[in-house]
Structure 1
């Protein structure tokens, strides 16, 4: 059988059906570094696939417990009738559309767009704003530079950095593991090659992270104490100020509020000068090294970049703001290869040279309901309806949610304090979930509707800096009774009288042609001649027209104002100061992280190397990384020896929120006092009243340990990157894993269900 084109969030590739209902994959021929994540494609045929619509038995009978109940398989007509009836009886504001958008790289079968488009046809719903990945920065940066994309999307390419930059100072590192992934994927993974070659090109790299492998070989590692990057940034800034190495003209003509920030650096208000010696006592780096780095930064073209990980901790606004202030003091913002950027090393398309342009997009329609929450407040919303909270200068109120409709996401992967989330998921009257697999989210639902994966449907796909648009041919027949999200919503729309509005009279293939043709017409207006849909589909791909790079900060440097109140970079924001938030003052500030003698180790819960978030955890690449079937936890040999832990031991990580098991990997690349447990292991809770939170995740999901608290009152962003924990060897035989098999499922009896 011949290879067919498709794409994924980890890159464009070729695929074909194989024996046993599984699939073979190979990288795109133009890709210099195809992602290892392609190996997880065999998860498509895993026994955890949801084979038929299923309803939680306790929900049918008016009892039971979400997360531990058995399910009853039903026919599609019964399942859709049940969902339609729940939607019919639930006020629109009381319906929460809980999609999170990573389900498919396709532009049409984008679960969040499909869900919101459908719900908008029946009167709307409560939605979420921003992302778990960058929710803090998405709120903060508009106050500082007018538009978050200026420093997150319109950054210099790696070629520009190689040509013009003398020194890259990477707070949070430049982790190679993150460069495989981008929303919609990439045809060419150039960043993985570019980052690895920087040091050989003469560019110096200063990698500031508690993990040595957060940078490429040849970089200088600064093993900073976790959650103290802001103290280091302030120590660097004070050195620039004290030694008159700062650019006074740039700070005067292109920034506002530096005088306030300078007073803070000198300690004129709190009596504490933020010197290199002060910073050294907090961040764990020698003061002489801090002063030397500051002088090196001022001696040439320097790029200051802050990873997304640093804004996913308590007070996550501060490292972004302090990094911007540090770059402003150097006066190089807007110069090629210099200044400030946010996200190099955090995502595969940041620094790529591909065209940044609008892609074909499914319209969601208009939502008549104005109610929304910041995305990481879902548990608070469910647990505390009617409670007020702060958000970006507003005082908002949580709505009362009676029905949660989740399509395209796994909150039991990406949310924090999963024991608290379980309590929150017990509150709504009904939870409906679209899922290919029996994840923890599906197991905590009342009605589970099996959906196809990318390989089982047609679509068109591309990333926002991709070089190609891909015709995503269907590779496999749907597993079991799985249907596309679109078909499920069409079935519901037919029952609720909105089918015509939902489909606009188009079939799925006609929608693909429509989205492509509309996009093609927009590009024709720009002077680009692209093939008709049929020709594109037969070819399997087309090369995207080039677009001139946008460098908004270069225009700002030339005199074009920013969309801030002052038109300048706001090193002190009167707007934010006016909100009066103690956890987010009006200028970059050192706000000390939580410490505890009881929980002496700082857990870093970063993105995994072997899957995308929780996607593909049952795939071969992810499974091969496990230790005794558990997610691996990296620990410094010194910390392991103090606890009697040997390589390969099953260990228990715990704090006062929860506990999980993992497999020990001893690693010198991890600083003492730090343990690293990647996110994305499927939550596998064992009820145990003796454990913190009442359950033990026997598989190794770190979000049983992370706190469900916001970064600050300003953004209400996710703070799940770090947590304080203790680690010990597991005593006795470890409990068995259960996530690799479906829950108990009873044979369908539609008559009894309908009755």
Structure 2
């Protein structure tokens, strides 16, 4: 390990920390002095780095080792694992890759490998995996994210780009100076703002909302959860039925149109197709005016409240924020499109502090005033395989080889996947209808996983490659999404036989004759120096002077200065739409998209529209409660679920589930009780929390509990055994976890606790 004369530092997706170590290993992570609102999540790693769930040697599932590829896939997740050497692992993996490629081609390898691993710029698990696979001919990949797939596909048709506007969301500073009314569809959940891709130095979301509130900004929280807005905002709480945000936005838009409160000059200069949308609002196309009364019946919000809010939005300097969670529902494209149309009608897009924002506090970087610098990342090379799937269609992929799917105007087919390789994520956390996915997971002939702990993904693998954690290797947190660039020190030696993902692939690459292509003759430190040097050059072009490598290592971090001007989304377009047109066919905001209309999708027309969700409280005949499965407060997705921070938030060892007091009383349930949440897809065991901070008819349980199946039940509280696995529409095929109906009852007496935090049976072979 490299020695340093300063405190050891590390950066994670949830913050920067000083690392305390002694002879026994890591004892604590202390908050970074530059962070005024540090996240407690980091403490969750202390105690589990070398705990009982740590994978300390390469492992192979017993049936696969004895019978070869394709053996007893239905036993994944149930069988013992046999310890093997790294030499044997390299031989097994290289031989299996060669067999699959020679017999079925590289398209038979699926390496979507979606997930969050290290914040480090070099030790990025997905990047390392995809670089390696491209060295041997490529793989079938995935497109988009579970976070906001519907928006990723839809918004480029409307604004010409999605990531650009997202990365330039109007800053909190600008909001505090210029906004009067902040209307948050889906709220501003500070717990989500604990995280940011690539690491972060200081959490800003609480300070942002506090500063805006102190400056006099009025907040409206439109969410089934009162807690989706911090108390400091003193927000008005409007709680529509879940999955009805689009109807509410259309009702607001109809009021603006009907009362001539819309900005006709802005619409004429900056948008295209408003006339088609206006005809829909008036009911000229379907005989149904999208009035406040119409919206009230769908949303269960009084029509007068809708009219009053619309008038306030037109009268005041207004920011409309749409949570990323709104895309994760049936027809999830529509809320973002409707929000863009509504903001266009108000005419404040591109002005300081107002207009439109995509998900304040969805991550720490949204609304952060920062410079736009393109830092270097590990080159992945070229993937010659053209096949891909929308990221949330992995179960369909495994179930339907050769089947067809629609996506963004294309008709494509699913490859016949024989080998799945996952590094840096956990599909048994974030995918929907996990019981169905588990059945499909039995179909591939081989599943390879890079993992450091015995979570549900590792247990459902054939070959488990034990990888190091960020604290067991050196790296750099170098991200354009945060001003703090941080040295990630190696704090301890690798536990057991664990290797970095890079070293794992080096060993396999050597057996397959591509080690030189994979490493290019560089060591990990050489690569990090190279990435840093390229990034320094990029920063210099933006007027920022990053320190040299040795100074960076000595000091431990560097803070990029803030830009002189506040960030304002679409400011240049607003100032001169001719010189700075959008990348749409018209160069304008496309409230009606002829491109999308031309796809002729029955579930995504050419303008924002209300379509009935597959499951919602407007038709709760099967199950009477709507379940919201949002992001957890005590971990990032499923990372560190076994750690002390996550475990301390449990109720009788179960994941908490929030329910309104009236709903609990109607079922004879009491706080702290162990309950069974169920529908036709599965069952989830949880601990009950009773609160009036959730609307009646709705229950909330966070994602992230390690999936521990027993028949169709998750004993550990993973709500994705309950959520439907259906695409948002034929346009984006995103996930719809938030369109989910359930029922709750008392759990059976004597129910066994989860066994997921106890390792599977491990068999050691004599040398």
Normalised to the residue count of structure 1, the TM-score between the two structures is 0.97
In the alignment, is the contact (CA less than 8 A) between 2:369 and 2:562 conserved in 1? no
In the alignment, is the contact (CA less than 8 A) between 1:304 and 1:340 conserved in 2? yes
d(CA) in 2 for partners of 1:125, 1:407: 14
d(CA) in 1 for partners of 2:27, 2:94: 35
In the alignment, is the contact (CA less than 8 A) between 1:210 and 1:223 conserved in 2? yes
d(CA) in 1 for partners of 2:612, 2:622: 18
d(CA) in 2 for partners of 1:149, 1:76: 41
1:673 Cα deviation (Å)?
A: 0.4
2:43 to 39, 42, 46: 39
1:545 Cα deviation (Å)?
A: 5.0
2:650 to 626, 629, 639: 626
In the alignment, is the contact (CA less than 8 A) between 1:168 and 1:302 conserved in 2? yes
Q: Which residue of 2 aligns with 1:679?
A: 703
Indicate how the Cα distance of structure 1 residues 264 and 525 shifts in structure 2: closer, same or farther if over 3 A, else same. Answer: closer
d(CA) in 2 for partners of 1:157, 1:529: 23
d(CA) in 2 for partners of 1:546, 1:301: 25
2:491 to 475, 480, 503: 475
Q: Which residue of 1 aligns with 2:731?
A: 714
Q: Which residue of 2 aligns with 1:144?
A: 158
SS class of match (2:279): helix
Q: Which residue of 2 aligns with 1:170?
A: 184
RMSD, aligned α-carbons:
1.4
Q: Which residue of 2 aligns with 1:108?
A: 122
Indicate how the Cα distance of structure 1 residues 155 and 525 shifts in structure 2: closer, same or farther if over 3 A, else same. Answer: closer
2:596 to 563, 576, 586: 576
SS class of match (1:350): coil
Q: Which residue of 2 aligns with 1:753?
A: none
d(CA) in 1 for partners of 2:121, 2:395: 29
d(CA) in 2 for partners of 1:366, 1:545: 35
In the alignment, is the contact (CA less than 8 A) between 1:314 and 1:710 conserved in 2? yes
Moved more, 535-544 or 470-479: 535-544
SS class of match (1:7): strand
Q: Which residue of 1 aligns with 2:17?
A: 13
Q: Which residue of 1 aligns with 2:553?
A: 537
* Alignment pair present for 1:296 and 2:312: yes
2:537 to 509, 521, 526: 521
Q: Summarize deviations over 1:362-387 as a string: whole Å, max 9, x none.
A: 11011111111111111111110100
2:672 to 648, 652, 666: 648
In the alignment, is the contact (CA less than 8 A) between 2:197 and 2:481 conserved in 1? no
In the alignment, is the contact (CA less than 8 A) between 1:186 and 1:462 conserved in 2? no
Q: Summarize deviations over 1:191-248 as a string: whole Å, max 9, x none.
A: 2221134222200101100000111221111111111111111111111111110001
* Alignment pair present for 1:117 and 2:121: no
1:548 Cα deviation (Å)?
A: 6.0
1:101 Cα deviation (Å)?
A: 4.3
* Alignment pair present for 1:50 and 2:52: no
Please list, as runs of the form range in 1=range in 2, the aligned pairs for 1:265-344 lying within 5 A after superposition: 265-344=281-360
Moved more, 656-665 or 521-530: 521-530
In the alignment, is the contact (CA less than 8 A) between 1:182 and 1:463 conserved in 2? no
In the alignment, is the contact (CA less than 8 A) between 2:19 and 2:26 conserved in 1? no
Q: Summarize deviations over 1:426-463 as a string: whole Å, max 9, x none.
A: 01110000001111111110000111111111000044
Q: Summarize deviations over 1:577-624 as a string: whole Å, max 9, x none.
A: 110111111111111222332211000000000000000101111001
Q: Which residue of 2 aligns with 1:502?
A: 518
The aligned length equals 743
1:2 Cα deviation (Å)?
A: 6.4
Please list, as runs of the form range in 1=range in 2, the aligned pairs for 1:78-477 lying within 5 A after superposition: 78-91=88-101, 92-217=106-231, 218-477=234-493
Which contiguous aligned blocks of 4+ residues in structure 1 show a shift greater than 6 angstroms? Answer: none
d(CA) in 2 for partners of 1:526, 1:466: 15
Moved more, 7-16 or 717-726: 717-726
Indicate how the Cα distance of structure 1 residues 525 and 565 shifts in structure 2: closer, same or farther if over 3 A, else same. Answer: closer
* Alignment pair present for 1:491 and 2:507: yes
In the alignment, is the contact (CA less than 8 A) between 1:183 and 1:464 conserved in 2? no
Q: Which residue of 2 aligns with 1:691?
A: none
In the alignment, is the contact (CA less than 8 A) between 1:681 and 1:699 conserved in 2? yes
Normalised to the residue count of structure 2, the TM-score between the two structures is 0.95
1:267 Cα deviation (Å)?
A: 0.8
Moved more, 211-220 or 538-547: 538-547
In the alignment, is the contact (CA less than 8 A) between 1:417 and 1:707 conserved in 2? yes
In the alignment, is the contact (CA less than 8 A) between 2:370 and 2:481 conserved in 1? yes
Moved more, 165-174 or 58-67: 58-67
Q: Which residue of 1 aligns with 2:84?
A: 74
Q: Which runs of 5+ in 2 are unaligned?
A: none
1:272 Cα deviation (Å)?
A: 1.1
Moved more, 612-621 or 349-358: 349-358
